Amino acid sequence: MDYKKTAEEILKLVGGSQNVASVTNCMTRLRFNLNDAKKANVETIKKIKGVQGVVTKNGQFQIVIGTDVGNVCEEIKKLGKFEENAAAEGEKNTGIIAAFFGTLTAIFQPIIPALAGSGMIKALLALLVAFKLVDPGSQTYQIFNAFGDALFSFMPFILAFSAAKRFKCNPYVSAVLAGVLLHSSFTGLNTGDPVHLFGFIPVTMISYGGSVVPILLIVWVQSYIEKFANKISPKPVKIFLAPMITIIVTGIIGITIAGPLGNLVGQVIAIGFNWLNDYAGWVIPVLMGTFCPFFVMTGMHYCFAPIQTIQYATLGYGTILGPGMLASNIAQGTAALVVGAKSKNKDLKQLGFSSGATGLMGITEPALYGVNLRLKKPLYASMIGGCAAGLYAGITGIHTFSSTTAGIFALPVYIGGESFSNVINAAITIVISMVVTAIATLILGFNDPAEEEKTEPALPEKEAAPTKPQGIKITIDSPVEGSIIPLSQVKDEVFSNEIVGKGAAVVPAKGEIHAPADGDLVSVFDTGHALGMVTKDGVELLIHIGINTVELKGKYFQIHAKQGEHVKKGDLLISFDIDGIQKAGYDVTTPVLITNTADYLDVLAKQEGNAGVDLITVLK
């Protein structure tokens, strides 16, 4: 995959950098917060090579890429010069519940790779001990145990840094506050005797190592204290006075109120899930095994990570994510593999095998969006298989001893306890998921695109005639004076490859854009570099003045018409300074595109000469 090219295409089609409030990524998808989601060309984005699907949920515009998503996101950030800290801006109007889950997701997403890596190290160590390749009393064991356990022992540091980025406060001050909770001078006071600050403020002594909720509350408090400290600190001494006030005030609130309150919340959550484990242990794996695809679609699966981490800290094992997600992920991968084996469509067969294999490894988005959700019936089959396997996992009470991506290679995280029964039951869970899902997929079947394509051409030509009349020509004049060049020569692959639509390009000789036909202006960019209109005949036009001229932010452009206005052919819409734009280093070549090209029999454009009447002819 050409990451830069893919990033450029996506950024253009979501409305350009000016339409992006923020962008980040999880393990398989880009997550945009767009200023105006209506500007995103969803159908064209889906056609970009490497894009598996598009989802809009809880105010986020999500593009499923797969395991290459990190590279694509990095290129998009370079192109748009986006700040990660802006992530919350696009969610400010999404509601309290959406904002809460969005906050949890944003905090835990960045640490997922570290959690997965650390979990697999602990699983590997358990495997080496089980096969007597490493002695638990050896120095080698101690060193590797430190590799795998460091994240969990010093979880407040990791979460402090991630939470600070979300709450827009100084992450290094947040790390200092996490250090207070784990510092030997503070933890050394935990001898059983009452502890008081200033002799009269009670301090509840808690073991904060591996805790989750306390540091999140403390950093949230810090975000407000820090703003106040920066506001009241005089400029000459702000550099040391503001952080000093923040550390002292937040630290006091943290060890007396926020920390104990967060610990209480964590204990209540743990008690609730322990009750479920004791009296209805099958419920969570069944629900997760059945409905995990929908949690993945909405990103809700990340919101269970804090609860899972609390379980590890309090119980030493987890039941929230691992068993149910193992059943579901294996089912997703199996359904896609069956589709790959049965399909006669070459592209679907290849996608089924590749995404199915990835799904068995625990990364299910390519299988979910590329195959199962698209065909629907394989999704239902995977839910049946996930439910059956989740029920077995719940009844046998399997649990994970460390956190990692739920897939075949995650079996070592089930090694622990006095016997191998836990990992054996996890292996049986995988088998049940694969067998039940495969049978369900074969029974339910799916509509193979290859089979549909074979039946359609069988109709006589006159019976397959389109409902729209044929032979009608619609002509579009050039909106700008200048020389015509083929669209293929435009130095922007989104235009030259006709990703947005067919059309022509004009090298302007005069800096004026006039209406090429009667119609309505459906969009006029504030920067003046582009506009969209629908002619009276229903032709959708995009006129884009120059290449990458959105970066000029309106300089050298003057808008003469408003969005929503009805215009007559020849009306002046936008004027622009050709010399100024060129001196600024930008190409003024202006593509004129028919964005609803697919609605017509053909779109014919002049390839050379002077731009004037009949620049483009649309046949329908």
Regarding predicted confidence, which is higher, 417 or 292?
A: 292
Read off the tokens for 329.
Answer: 């992920």
DSSP states of 429-460: HHHHHHHHHHHHHHHH----HHHHHHHGGGS-
**Band of residue 562 on the pLDDT scale cut at 50, 70, 90:** confident
pLDDT recorded at residue 509: 92
Predicted model pTM: 0.53
Dmax (CA) for the chain in angstroms is 95
Half-sphere exposure of 316 (CA within 13 A, CB side): 3
Distance between CA atoms of residues 130 and 414, nearest Å = 12
**183 a catalytic residue:** no
Domains, the chain, ranges and CATH?
3-94 (3.30.1360.60), 154-277 (no CATH), 473-619 (2.70.70.10)
Span 465-472, average pLDDT: 48
Backbone angles phi, psi at 218, to 5 degrees: -65, -45
Span 73-88, average pLDDT: 70
Span 430-459, average pLDDT: 76
Q: What is the pLDDT of residues 315-350, one digit of tens each?
A: 677 787 789 899 999 999 999 999 999 998 887 888
φ/ψ bin of 563: left (φ > 0), alpha (ψ from -120 to 50), beta (otherwise): beta
Q: What is the pLDDT of residues 109-156, one digit of tens each?
A: 778 778 778 877 877 888 888 888 999 899 999 999 899 888 878 989
**Band of residue 457 on the pLDDT scale cut at 50, 70, 90:** very low
Q: What is the pLDDT of residues 479-499, one digit of tens each?
A: 999 999 988 888 877 778 777
In terms of C-beta density within 10 A (0-12 exposed, 13-18 middle, 19 or more buried), how is residue 239 classed?
A: exposed
Q: Is it the case that residue 466 has pLDDT exceeding 50?
A: no
Parallel, antiparallel, or unpaired: how do β-strands 519-524 and 530-535 relate? antiparallel
Asked whether the beta carbons of 229 and 242 are under 8 A apart, the reply is yes
Beta bridge partners of 512: 575
Distance between CA atoms of residues 69 and 363, nearest Å = 12
Q: Where are the alpha helices (DSSP H) in 343-376?
A: 346-360, 365-367, 373-375
322-342 and 283-298 helices cross at what angle (nearest 10)?
60
Read off the tokens for 523.
Answer: 């969009």
Q: What is the pLDDT of residues 177-215, one digit of tens each?
A: 999 999 999 999 988 899 999 999 999 998 888 788 899
Regarding predicted confidence, which is higher, 78 or 226?
A: 226
**Band of residue 400 on the pLDDT scale cut at 50, 70, 90:** confident
**Band of residue 295 on the pLDDT scale cut at 50, 70, 90:** confident
Regarding predicted confidence, which is higher, 463 or 300?
A: 300
Which one of 387, 544, 560, 566 is the catalytic residue?
Answer: 544
Asked whether the beta carbons of 501 and 461 are under 8 A apart, the reply is no
Asked whether the beta carbons of 545 and 577 are under 8 A apart, the reply is no
Asked whether the beta carbons of 401 and 81 are under 8 A apart, the reply is no
Span 86-95, average pLDDT: 47
pLDDT recorded at residue 476: 92
Mean residue pLDDT of the chain comes to 84
Span 452-478, average pLDDT: 54
Asked whether the beta carbons of 246 and 229 are under 8 A apart, the reply is yes
Regarding predicted confidence, which is higher, 363 or 395?
A: 395
Q: Is it the case that residue 506 has pLDDT exceeding 90?
A: yes
Distance between CA atoms of residues 183 and 164, nearest Å = 20
Asked whether the beta carbons of 37 and 570 are under 8 A apart, the reply is no
Q: How large a percentage of the chain has pLDDT more than 70? A: 88
Q: Is it the case that residue 424 has pLDDT exceeding 90?
A: yes
Span 287-310, average pLDDT: 73
pLDDT recorded at residue 467: 43
Instruction: Annotate 182-243 with three-state secondary structure.
Output: HCHHHHCCCCCCCEEECCCEEECCCCCCCCCHHHHHHHHHHHHHHHHHHHHCCHHHHHHHHH
Span 292-302, average pLDDT: 68
Beta bridge partners of 615: none
If DSSP codes are grouped into helix, strand and coil, which group holds residue 17?
helix
Span 292-300, average pLDDT: 70
**Band of residue 302 on the pLDDT scale cut at 50, 70, 90:** low
Q: How far is CA 142 from CA 136, 157, 266, 314, in A?
A: 8, 22, 29, 22
Q: Which of 24-33, 532-541, 550-559 has the lowest mean pLDDT?
A: 24-33
pLDDT recorded at residue 195: 94
**544 a catalytic residue:** yes
Which one of 26, 73, 292, 387 is the catalytic residue?
Answer: 26
